[in-house]
Amino acid sequence: MRLPDLTPDRMTPRQREVADEAIRGKRGRMPAPLRAWIHSPEMGDRAQKLGEVLRYDTTLGPRLSEMAILMMARHWTSDYEWFVHKREALKAGLDPAVIDAIATHRPPEGLDDRQQALFAYTTELLDSRSVSDATHRRAVAALGAQGVVELVGLLGYYTLVSMTLNAFAIGLPEGETPELSR
């Protein structure tokens, strides 16, 4: 990691408070990007709280959320994010063939209506930095207005996560190798 990895004994009281709150949260641990964000404890506090909401408390549910997170990990070639969320996606019931297609930049086959809408919306937003009216209507029909707002929030948050992991060189656990091609 490009910044000092702070242990509790090297943290300020505010940094310890933020780290402890993250550990007491739904994750049960300090998320990897917080290792960098903790150097700005207010930002870290707010970012990890937003992440907790977007990861665990949206109308998308785990399968769709993990699919979107994998799409962001692939987009940013964020190896750590891919490593963590591939396993979470499998636990959530995402088809391994869908995961493989995302990893290799191919459109997945056999998606249900909600997955198709999420994939189309995310792909179009990433490719063109905008979404057509038709794609937006399709996503709202499949995911609901709240779901589309949460999807955009999730994509933005996992852009921040992926950029943080990449910029600060937060690597894979020891012994693990990257799965994504450059």
- Return the pLDDT at 66: 98
In this predicted structure, the answer to whether residue 113 has a pLDDT above a threshold of 90 is yes
What does the pLDDT read at residue 181? Answer: 86
Return d(Cα 80, Cα 162) in angstroms, integer.
Answer: 8
Q: Is 77 exposed, middle or buried (0-12, 13-18, 19+ CB in 10 A)?
A: middle
What pTM value is reported for the model?
A: 0.94
Please give the CATH architecture assigned to the domain spanning 61-167: Up-down Bundle (1.20)
DSSP letters of 56-104? Answer: HSSTTHHHHHHHHHHHHHHHHT-HHHHHHHHHHHHHTT--HHHHHHHHT
Interatomic CA distance for residues 142 and 139, integer angstroms: 5
pLDDT surpasses 90 at 182: no
* pLDDT over 90 (residue 76): yes
On the 0-12 / 13-18 / 19+ scale of CB atoms within 10 A, 154 is buried
Cα separation, 182 vs 50, in Å, equals 29
pLDDT tier at 105 (50, 70, 90 boundaries)?
very high
Question: Does the pLDDT value for residue 67 go beyond 90?
Answer: yes
Domain residue ranges in the chain: 8-56, 61-167
pLDDT (0 to 100) of residue 74? 98
Write the burial class of residue 143 (CB in 10 Å: 0-12 exposed, 13-18 middle, 19+ buried).
buried
The stretch 151-177 carries a mean pLDDT of 96
